[in-house]
Amino acid sequence: MHELILGGQKSGKSRCAEQRAADWLAYGHRREAVLIATALAGDGEMAERIARHRADRAARVPRLQALEVPHELPEAVAEHSSPQRLLVVDCLTLWLTQLRLPLAGPALTESQWLARQAALCDALREAAGPVVLVSNEIGLGLAPLSRESRQFLDALGLLHQRVAAVCERVTLMVAGLEMAVKRP
């Protein structure tokens, strides 16, 4: 079963996903859980944030393995999915950022981005095991003033819609509390 967990900054979405991994691992010694992290450290503060997340995760869910995959997310889901392995993708917002607003190199064109998005949805449909995806819900506020920001917001909203259509569960995190949006 796949789940999309959405929420604002510090809403508890990553912890919720980690708890899903801990629960998965508790049901059997043969089970595995792998975090697919999409963040890149573009500055010192982000590097510290990533290091803090790594340490916190290791303390909370010691058996949660981690891979850093800032660009090739569909391929990582396809490669690492198995019936005994839960994948946690954290997060779709940063994945979109790496592809559409990269720190270095060219951004994907709209058609290239749509192909990557479709590849992710295909990988989710074909995944042999469960996948929990985390993303920031940033579309609840005012429309941004810049064209690039509006395009990013639109792209993220459409990505959420397409991923949510593939997932059996969608959860919205608010102040550390889960709100069921979609359930089987």
Question: Residue type at 156?
Answer: L
- Rounded CA separation 144/10 (Å): 21
Question: Residue type at 103?
Answer: L
Antiparallel, parallel or unpaired: β 169-174 and 177-182:
antiparallel
Strand partners, 135: 6
- Rounded CA separation 178/160 (Å): 17
Range 39-60 burial, b when 16+ CB lie within 10 A, else e: bbeeeeeeeeeeeebeeebeee
Active site residue 53: yes
Selected catalytic residue, list 53, 71, 80, 160: 53
Question: Looking at the annotation, which residues are catalytic?
Answer: 53
